C-alpha cells in the first residue's frame, strides 16, 4: 500500500488550491485523487461553452433534487463539475466576494476566527485584478476581468436602472456591493481561467505532487477514531492509500457528506436506513444544505439584435471567426453580463437581491436552446436565503445518487424577498431607456400581478443557480461537522475543505468564497504541523 503525507480527495476548486500550496515548500508528499478526468474538453476554454458543458456528463455529475411540494414536485438540476478543476470547468465564471457581514456572521455563529478581516488578505492573495484599489489583489494566480463586451441592451439596462434611482457600481467587490454595472469573471485573454490554470498547472511539475484521475474514492479508512487513508476504485480494481498526516476531503457540498456517510460517519438513523454500519456519530453531516434559488424573467424585444440572433446562422459564423482571431465577441460571454445588487426594502443596510442580466432568452432552459425571436433575461436571486435542507445517502452503493432536499422557499422571508426582487426588476425594465425596446414580457407576463401570483411563478419555474453550501458546517457548537481549523469533530487525521464547511450563505456566487476558504485552510494545515 502506497502512502503520502496528505491525501486530497477531489480535484476541484479546493483540491487544486491545496495541491499547490501544500507542495510549494517541497516538505510534503501530496496525492490528489479525482473521480473525473483531465480538463480536455474542447468547450472548456471557451467561455460561452458553459451552455454545452452544463449538459455534458463527462464534466457534470448531473445531480438532481428530490421532488418537493414547495417547488411543485419538480426535479431540479444541481450541476456539479466532474474532473480536475471541478465546477470551475463548467460554471459561468462570475466572481463575487460577497459582503463583509457574510463572513462576520460565520464568526458570530461559532466559526471562530472566520470573519471578513481575516479572509480579506486571502481574497487579495488569490486575485489578479488589473483595476480596483488597494483592497483588491493584483498579483494572484486567478485572473479576474470585468466583462469587456458592450451591447445596446446592456447600456439601456444600466440607464434604466439609473432612471429607477439605482446607483452605478464599477467594483461590486470593493467597499460596497450596492448597485449596477458589468460583472467580473475569471478569464484571461478571452478564455476561461479555472483553478487548474491558476493553481494546479504551476504545481504539476513538482516531484512531491501526484495527481490521480478516474479514481473513485469508495470510503475513508478509519482505525478507531483516526482516519488513516482511503479506499478507491480505478479501472475496475480496488486499492488503498495511506495518509501519514491527514486525509483532506474536498469533494464538495454534495459528495463530501455522501462520502462521510458511506464511511460510517454521520447520523446513526440515516446510516441505519441506508444499511451502513455506524463508526462515528456526527448528527450534522448532510444537514444545513443551503443554495441560491433564482427565477428567470424574460422579455421579447424589438428594434435591437440580441444574442438569440447573434448565436445562429451567418452571425454565428462571424462570431466564431472573431473569437478565434481576436478572442473577443459573444463567445467570451458567460452566464451574466450586467449585475445588479439591490435592497428590497430601503431600510436595509445591504442588498438582499442579485440580478443577472443577459441579452438572450431560452426557449428551453434545461437544454440551453435559445429563442428564435429577440429576447432578454433577468435572473433574480435572493442573496442570503434562510431556507435549509439536507443531502443524505439512501443506499450503501456509492453509485446511487444521494437524496438532495433543498427545501427552497420554505421560509416566509425568502418568499417575500424573491417576490419583491422580481417586482423591482419589472419596474426597472419599464423605465424609458429600456421600455422602448420591449415588445412584451413573456415570462411571467400577465400571469403575475399579485404577490400570490408572483410566488406561484417562482414555485413553478424557479431553479437553483448551483451554489450549494453548508452540509459539513464549520463551528464549535452542536450540529457542526468540522471545527474552526476544519478538522472533523471527534476524529483525527481528517479535515474537510470545500463549500460544505461554509456555515451560512455568502451574498453572491460562491466560487470566490470557496477559493478564499481554501487559501486560508492551506495556511492552517501547514501551521498545525510540527516545525
Q: Which of 143, 292, 392, 467 is catalytic?
A: 467
pLDDT confidence of 133, banded at 50, 70, 90?
confident
Mean pLDDT in residue range 111-127? 96
The predicted structure's pLDDT at residue 362: 82
User: CA-to-CA distance for 359 and 338, rounded, in angstroms?
Assistant: 10
The predicted structure's pLDDT at residue 361: 92
**Per-residue model confidence as pLDDT tens digits over 72-93:** 999 999 999 999 999 999 999 9
- Any bridge partners for residue 390, and if so which? 405
Please report the DSSP string for 167-230 in residue order: PB-S-TTSS---EEEEPEESEETTEE--HIIIIIHHHTT-TTEEEE-S-EEEEEEEETTEEEEE
The predicted structure's pLDDT at residue 1: 79
**Per-residue model confidence as pLDDT tens digits over 153-171:** 999 999 999 999 999 999 9
H or E segment at 16?
A: helix 13-23
**Per-residue model confidence as pLDDT tens digits over 6-38:** 999 999 999 999 999 999 999 999 999 999 999
Please say whether the beta carbons of 470 and 253 come within 8 A: yes
Parse the chain into domains and list their residue ranges. 1-140+193-289+388-406+468-531, 148-182+293-382+407-465
CA 439 vs CA 40, 164, 337, 376, 496: distances in Å: 42, 20, 21, 11, 51
The predicted structure's pLDDT at residue 368: 67
The answer regarding whether domain 148-182+293-382+407-465 maps to CATH 3.40.190.10 reads no
User: CA-to-CA distance for 290 and 292, rounded, in angstroms?
Assistant: 7
Asked whether residue 176 carries a pLDDT value surpassing 90, the answer given is: yes
Please report the DSSP string for 375-418 in residue order: EEEEEEEESS----BEEE-SSS-TTSPPEEE--TT-SHHHHHHH
**Per-residue model confidence as pLDDT tens digits over 303-315:** 999 999 998 899 9
pTM exceeds 0.85 for this model: yes
467 classed as catalytic: yes
CA 444 vs CA 119, 300, 303, 460: distances in Å: 40, 12, 22, 10
DSSP 75: -
The chain-wide mean pLDDT, for the chain, equals: 95
Asked whether residue 507 carries a pLDDT value surpassing 70, the answer given is: yes
User: CA-to-CA distance for 95 and 513, rounded, in angstroms?
Assistant: 9
- HSE value, Cβ hemisphere, 13 Å, CA-based, for 477: 8
**Per-residue model confidence as pLDDT tens digits over 398-410:** 999 999 999 999 9
- HSE value, Cβ hemisphere, 13 Å, CA-based, for 194: 29
User: CA-to-CA distance for 64 and 62, rounded, in angstroms?
Assistant: 7
- HSE value, Cβ hemisphere, 13 Å, CA-based, for 451: 9
pLDDT confidence of 531, banded at 50, 70, 90?
low
Lookup: cell for 480: 457542526
Q: Find how far residue 65's CA is from the centre of its chain.
A: 16
User: CA-to-CA distance for 400 and 393, rounded, in angstroms?
Assistant: 8
The predicted structure's pLDDT at residue 366: 60
Structurally, at CATH architecture level, domain 1-140+193-289+388-406+468-531 sits in 3-Layer(bba) Sandwich (3.50)
Amino acid at each position: 500500500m502506497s502512502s503520502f503525507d496528505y491525501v486530497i480527495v477531489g480535484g476541484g476548486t479546493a483540491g487544486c488550491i491545496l495541491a499547490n500550496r501544500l507542495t510549494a515548500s517541497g516538505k510534503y508528499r501530496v496525492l490528489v485523487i479525482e473521480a473525473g478526468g483531465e480538463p480536455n474538453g474542447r468547450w472548456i476554454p471557451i467561455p460561452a461553452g458553459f451552455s454545452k458543458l452544463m449538459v455534458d456528463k463527462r464534466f457534470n455529475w448531473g445531480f438532481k433534487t428530490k421532488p418537493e411540494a414547495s417547488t411543485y414536485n419538480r426535479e431540479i438540476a444541481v450541476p456539479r463539475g466532474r474532473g480536475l478543476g471541478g465546477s470551475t470547468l463548467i460554471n459561468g465564471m462570475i466572481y463575487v466576494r460577497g459582503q463583509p457581514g457574510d463572513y462576520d456572521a460565520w464568526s458570530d455563529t461559532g466559526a471562530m476566527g472566520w470573519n471578513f478581516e481575516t479572509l480579506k488578505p486571502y481574497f487579495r492573495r488569490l486575485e489578479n485584478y488589473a483595476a480596483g484599489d488597494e483592497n483588491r489583489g493584483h498579483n494572484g494566480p486567478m485572473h479576474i476581468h470585468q466583462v469587456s463586451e458592450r451591447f445596446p441592451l446592456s447600456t439601456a439596462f444600466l440607464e434604466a436602472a439609473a432612471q429607477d434611482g439605482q446607483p452605478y457600481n464599477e467594483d461590486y467587490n470593493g467597499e460596497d456591493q450596492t448597485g449596477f454595472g458589468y460583472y467580473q469573471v475569471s478569464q484571461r485573454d478571452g478564455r476561461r481561467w479555472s483553478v487548474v490554470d491558476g493553481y494546479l498547472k504551476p504545481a504539476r511539475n513538482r516531484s512531491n505532487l501526484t495527481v490521480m484521475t478516474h479514481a473513485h474514492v469508495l470510503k475513508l479508512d478509519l482505525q478507531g477514531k483516526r482516519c488513516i487513508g482511503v479506499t478507491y476504485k480505478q479501472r475496475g480494481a480496488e486499492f488503498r492509500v495511506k495518509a501519514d498526516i491527514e486525509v483532506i476531503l474536498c469533494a464538495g457540498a454534495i459528495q463530501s457528506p455522501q462520502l462521510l456517510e458511506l464511511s460510517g460517519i454521520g447520523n446513526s438513523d440515516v446510516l441505519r436506513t441506508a444499511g451502513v454500519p455506524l463508526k462515528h456519530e456526527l448528527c450534522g453531516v448532510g444537514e444545513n444544505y443551503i443554495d441560491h434559488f433564482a427565477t428567470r424573467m424574460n422579455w421579447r424585444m424589438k428594434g435591437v439584435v440580441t444574442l438569440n440572433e447573434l448565436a445562429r446562422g451567418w452571425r454565428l459564423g462571424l462570431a466564431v471567426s472573431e473569437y478565434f482571431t481576436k478572442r473577443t465577441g459573444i463567445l467570451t460571454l458567460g452566464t451574466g453580463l450586467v449585475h445588479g445588487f439591490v435592497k428590497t426594502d430601503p431600510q436595509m443596510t445591504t442588498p438582499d437581491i442579485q440580478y443577472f442580466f443577459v441579452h438572450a432568452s431560452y426557449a428551453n432552459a434545461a437544454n440551453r436552446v435559445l429563442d428564435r425571436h429577440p429576447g432578454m433575461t433577468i435572473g433574480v436571486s435572493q442573496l442570503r436565503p434562510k431556507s435549509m435542507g439536507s443531502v443524505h445517502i439512501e443506499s450503501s452503493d456509492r453509485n446511487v445518487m444521494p437524496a438532495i432536499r433543498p427545501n427552497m422557499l420554505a421560509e416566509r422571508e425568502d418568499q417575500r424577498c424573491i417576490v419583491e426582487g422580481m417586482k423591482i426588476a419589472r419596474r426597472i425594465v419599464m423605465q424609458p431607456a429600456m421600455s422602448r425596446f420591449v415588445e412584451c414580457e413573456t415570462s411571467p407576463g400577465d400571469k403575475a400581478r399579485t404577490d400570490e401570483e408572483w410566488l406561484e411563478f417562482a414555485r413553478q419555474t424557479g431553479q437553483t443557480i448551483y451554489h450549494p453550501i453548508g452540509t459539513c458546517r464549520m463551528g464549535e457548537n452542536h450540529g457542526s461537522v468540522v471545527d474552526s481549523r476544519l478538522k472533523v469533530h471527534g476524529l483525527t487525521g481528517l479535515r474537510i475543505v470545500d463549500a460544505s464547511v461554509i456555515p451560512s450563505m455568502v451574498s453572491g456566487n460562491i466560487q470566490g468564497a470557496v477559493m478564499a476558504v481554501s487559501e486560508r485552510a492551506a495556511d492552517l494545515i501547514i501551521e498545525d504541523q510540527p516545525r
